[in-house]
Each structure stands twice: as C-alpha cells, then as structure tokens.
Amino acid sequence: MQALSSHLSGRWQSGSGKPATLFNPTTDAPLATCDTQGLDLGAALDFARTQGGPTLRAMTFAERGDLLAAMSKAIHAQREALIELAVANGGNTRGDAKFDIDGCIGTLMAYAELGKSLGDRRFLNEGAPIDIGRGGRVQGHHLRAPRRGVAVHINAFNFPAWGLGEKAACALLAGVPVLTKPATSTALVAWRIVEVLVEAGVCPPGVLSLLCGGAGDLLDHLGPQDVLAFTGSADTGARLRGHRRVLEVGVPVNVEADSLNSAVLAPEADDATYDALIRHLHTEITQKAGQKCTATRRIFVPAERVDEVIADLSERLRGAVLGDPSRDDVHVGPLATRDQQRAALEGIAALRAVARPVFGDAGTGAPVGVEAGVGCFVAPLLLRADDPARADVVHRLEVFGPVSTIMPYDGTAAGAASLVARGEGSLVASVYGDDRKWLEEAVLELAPWHGRLTLTDAKMAEKAMAPGMVLPLLNHGGPGRAGGGSELGGVRGLEPYTQRCAVQGNGPLLSRFFGVTTPEG
Ligand code: NAP
C-alpha cells in the first residue's frame, strides 16, 4: 500500500507513528496510509517563511501569475490520472472528479491572468490617495503589503484539489508562501498534485509545502504574520479560532464552515425560469453526492406550487443512478467515508422528526455494481416540511449528502427571507423569478445573510449556472453559521494575505512611491 509523505522544509518526510489509512469508499478497500507524528512542523513553517516568503515578495504580480500558470499547466498535464485517484479515494463520478480538478486548474489560471493584469507591482494600492492637507501637499495612501508569514491552509475532505488550488492561488499571488493540509481521509489527490508540482520543479523552495495527515502541533508554531484559512465543520472551525497561539499572536483566521443554502421560487416565474430551478436543484442534490458546501439544502416554494415542484424534481431525480462511480451509467457515488455516511444517516433521522420523504429511500439505497453492505452510500432524498417556522432542525442541521428539504412560504420576498435567515448565515442563496420589483426586494432582504446570491430570470435562464458553482472572480464565503469568511472574488481574495497600512506624508513623494496621483473626494 502506498505511504503518502509530507513535503516540508523542501523535502519529502514521513512520520514515525501509527499511520492513518485512506479507503476507497465504494469498495471499502484500503488505498494508502499517511503519518505526520514526530515531524518538525515549527521548522517547516520557518523554512517557508525564510525561503518561500522572500522569493515570492521579490517577484512582481505578473511573475507570481506566471508561477500560478505553470502550476495550472503541470496539474492539467496529469488530469486523467488525478481523475482516477478522485474516483478511487473520493467516491467521485468522473463528472464529480472533473468538477474538483478542473476547478483547481481553472482557478489557478484565473489568478494567473489577474497577476498578469496587475503587472510589475509587488503590492496593492487600495483606492486613490486622500488629501489630508491643503493642495495635496499632505496625503494618505492605503497600501496592502504581503504579510511576512505563511498561509496555513486546512482543507475539507470534499474538494482535495479545488480546496488546495483556490486558497493557494490567492496567497501565492499576494506574495505569501503556503503550507497546505488536506483532510486525511481524501488526501490522495492533494498529495499527488504536490508530487506533480515537485516533479515538474515548478515551485521554488518553501513556496508550497504539504502536510499530509493529522495537524499535530502545527498551530502551536504560528507566528504573528501567519494566516490561517480553514474549510470544514463549524466545530473544528471554532476550535481553531479559539486556539491559544492563534489568540496570543492575533493570527487572522478565515473560516468556511457549515451552510444551509436555500433556493427560492418567486410567485411570478416564467416557464424557462421554473425549468432552471428544477435543473439546478437536480444538480445540487446529485453532484458530488451532495457533498458541496454550496449545495442547496432548503427549497422555498409558494405554498400552491409545492406539489408541482416535488413532482417535477422527482421526475428528474428518478434518472439519477446511485452506485459504483467508476461506471459510466452511474450519476451518484458514495459519500467519502464511513463517518460521513453515519453522520448523514443520523442527520436524515433528525430531519424526519419535522419532515417526511417525498422522493427516495431514507437510507443507503441499492447502489448498482456494488455488493450489498459494501461502500458508504446514501441514496438521493427529497424531504417535505409543511411548517417551516417550526422545523428548527431543517434550518440548523447541514446533512452533508444528497438530501434537500422543500418547504412552503407565503409568496412575499420578506416572508421567504425570514425563513432563509433561520439558517443564520449561508454561503449562497438562489432566487428564481420574473417580477423585477420582487427580485429587487429579495436581494436587499437576503444579501446581509449571504456571501453570494444567484438570480435567475427567463432572459438568462438557459445560461444560468447552478448556484453550487463557485467562480474565482466572485466572493466565496458567508456570514454567521457559514463561518464569516471570505475567499476568492478576484483581487479581493488577496486581502486575508495582505496587511492594510495607511501611509501619510508628503503627497507628491508618496504618489511617486505608489504610482497614484488623483486624490479621492
Ligand atoms: P473537519 O473534521 O472539521 O475537518 C476539516 C479539516 O480540519 C481537516 O483537514 C481536518 O484534518 C482538520 N482538523 C480537524 N481537527 C483539527 C485540529 N484540531 N487542528 C487542525 N486541523 C484539524 O471537517 P470534515 O470532516 O472535512 O467535514 C465535516 C463537515 O464539515 C461536513 O460534514 C460539513 O458539514 C462541513 N463542511 C463544510 C464545508 C464548507 O466549505 N462550508 C466543506 C466541507 C465540509 P483531518 O482530516 O486530518 O482530521
């Protein structure tokens, strides 16, 4: 069995403890092991700070963009092999695997393009200079300088490739080296990506490190210029935020956690708009077997259309075949681990206290191409809760699987928003309708609770992307339960890795330093 090592301090290193085992969630077969016990993580962070940091800060944005482009191309060259690993270790269908791996390749390339457009500078100006004296003699400039530490990235099990790529793209373009830690259970794809990059000689020493396995005492070694970005459960997020060292030296923490994302059908919706809703809901329930932080968990429909939506969505879901994800005729694979399967089945049982199944078996289903009892399967399931105001558990429990709950609302934008807000902050909500005034009101009601909204009307319904698709140029993150974090969003994605500093002084001299001459206001 393959032993996955970590790439730290510029070399591959293995631990000396009892290794963790990675499994194939379709067959339950062990695939690989990894172990981080005894690794010197303080030295690894120092190596990144002292070798990778200066190298990146000496590079212009355009040069850092070239680095990201080279990473993207090296990963792309191994795309097919990576897809196979994602099918084996993540239980991904080929489509699911492409979503993750192409997302990684595409996000790195999008940030490579951004680097090119930012050109030969090494830091960012934030807005125009501000005149704080008469006639521009005394001015203030806001600059964002790359932090002098390491970006420590702790990722969730569901996107081993994209999670690595989207976080690394922002940090590296900002000029900050990365230590990335995939979730242990699905680390095979992230490990291979780093191996590919090491083999291709793309990243200079200390620019990208990999910790493959448990985090050990990593956080004890964080310094005041480091940044911690985390994706995973709210519980772990809270633990990392409250870590003694994080609090002691004020390490910024960016958290993407649980999210009860919603879809809302407005009372006025043309056929094309309605069709997009059904199409998108099908994608959000089945893609990655529902293991997406952005998947739609709650569906709000005017009371008189609930039966119609259930019938049309069920019709589509009937075509979604559960089973061995390596087969071409299968659309929904297993969950990633036994623990995830157990948590999802327990979650379904909790939801059933207030909601009843209207499509699918509330269980492991009958996966095709798999022996009975083998694998971590959960069958696609649509639930219906007729009293959403009292269905508290539906608004707070994220069942991380192919499961969604449909609920009626009173048809007003305010009524929908008050139910959506019961989720206490989400990554994304999607709204489907054709009454402009209604849509405008919905946007203002929903925006404070979300990091992203998608609006679909008849004019663009055919081209509308399902809401679970995260785009590099748009914000990803959400308030409250979703963690309060913010990632991507083009140049905004560099913010966590840079320090805002107001520099005030001789206006013309500062303008020469910063290359900006038009004062604000
Ligand atoms: P998790 O248990 O919170 O783990 C996430 C990451 O944190 C993993 O890399 C894990 O490493 C690491 N970790 C755990 N304890 C740590 C500690 N004390 N110090 C440092 N790192 C630590 O989450 P998960 O198992 O990946 O997912 C569980 C749930 O998170 C899902 O069911 C879902 O509800 C939610 N989730 C949310 C998102 C989102 O983007 N919003 C994405 C995925 C999952 P190990 O694997 O080595 O333990």
Does the pLDDT of residue 521 top 50, yes or no?
Answer: no
Beta carbon of 159 within 6 Å of any ligand 1 atom: no
Question: pLDDT digit string (tens) for 153-176?
Answer: 999 999 999 999 999 999 999 999
Residue 293 bears catalytic tag? yes
Does the pLDDT of residue 520 top 60, yes or no?
Answer: no
Q: Closest Cα to atom 8, ligand 1: which residue?
A: 183
Beta carbon of 390 within 6 Å of any ligand 1 atom: no
Residue 431's contacts (CB-CB under 8 Å, 6 or more residues apart) are 263, 264, 266, 439, 442, 443, 446, 453, 454, 455, 456
The predicted pLDDT at position 1 comes to 86
Distance CA 496, CA 484 (A): 13
Q: Closest Cα to atom 22, ligand 1: which residue?
A: 215
Mean of the per-residue pLDDT values of the chain: 96
**Chain centroid, CA 152 distance in Å:** 15
Question: pLDDT digit string (tens) for 55-68?
Answer: 999 999 999 999 99
Does the pLDDT of residue 271 top 80, yes or no?
Answer: yes
The predicted pLDDT at position 168 comes to 98
Q: Do residues 186 and 156 touch, judged by C-beta distance below 8 A?
A: no
Q: How far is CA 431 from CA 258, 261, 304, 495, 508, in A?
A: 20, 11, 17, 29, 49
Q: What is the mean pLDDT of residues 187-206?
A: 98
The predicted pLDDT at position 519 comes to 61
pTM of the model: 0.96
Question: pLDDT digit string (tens) for 207-222?
Answer: 999 999 999 999 999 9
Q: Please identify which of the residues 34, 212, 293, 376 carries the catalytic annotation.
A: 293
Beta carbon of 254 within 6 Å of any ligand 1 atom: no
Does the pLDDT of residue 35 top 80, yes or no?
Answer: yes
Question: pLDDT digit string (tens) for 388-439?
Answer: 999 999 999 999 999 999 999 999 999 999 999 999 999 999 999 999 999 9
Distance CA 417, CA 300 (A): 10
Q: Do residues 175 and 122 touch, judged by C-beta distance below 8 A?
A: yes
Atom of ligand 1 nearest to the CA of 231: 40
Q: What is the mean pLDDT of residues 319-327?
A: 97
**Chain centroid, CA 81 distance in Å:** 23
Beta carbon of 184 within 6 Å of any ligand 1 atom: yes
Does the pLDDT of residue 137 top 90, yes or no?
Answer: no
The predicted pLDDT at position 499 comes to 97
Cα of 303 from ligand 1 centre, angstroms: 37
Query: Which pair of tokens denotes residue 473?
Result: 């140029």
Question: pLDDT digit string (tens) for 332-385?
Answer: 999 999 999 999 999 999 999 999 999 998 899 999 999 999 999 999 999 999
Does the pLDDT of residue 136 top 80, yes or no?
Answer: no
Distance CA 419, CA 47 (A): 49
Beta carbon of 253 within 6 Å of any ligand 1 atom: no
Residue 398 bears catalytic tag? no
Percentages of the chain per state (helix, strand, coil), in multiples of 5: 40, 20, 35
Cα of 186 from ligand 1 centre, angstroms: 11
Q: What is the mean pLDDT of residues 301-318?
A: 98
Beta carbon of 497 within 6 Å of any ligand 1 atom: no
The predicted pLDDT at position 518 comes to 62
The predicted pLDDT at position 393 comes to 98
Which residue from 233, 340, 469 has its CB within 8 A of the most atoms of ligand 1, so it is best to mutate?
A: 233
Banded model confidence at residue 86, pLDDT cuts 50, 70, 90 = very high
The predicted pLDDT at position 517 comes to 62
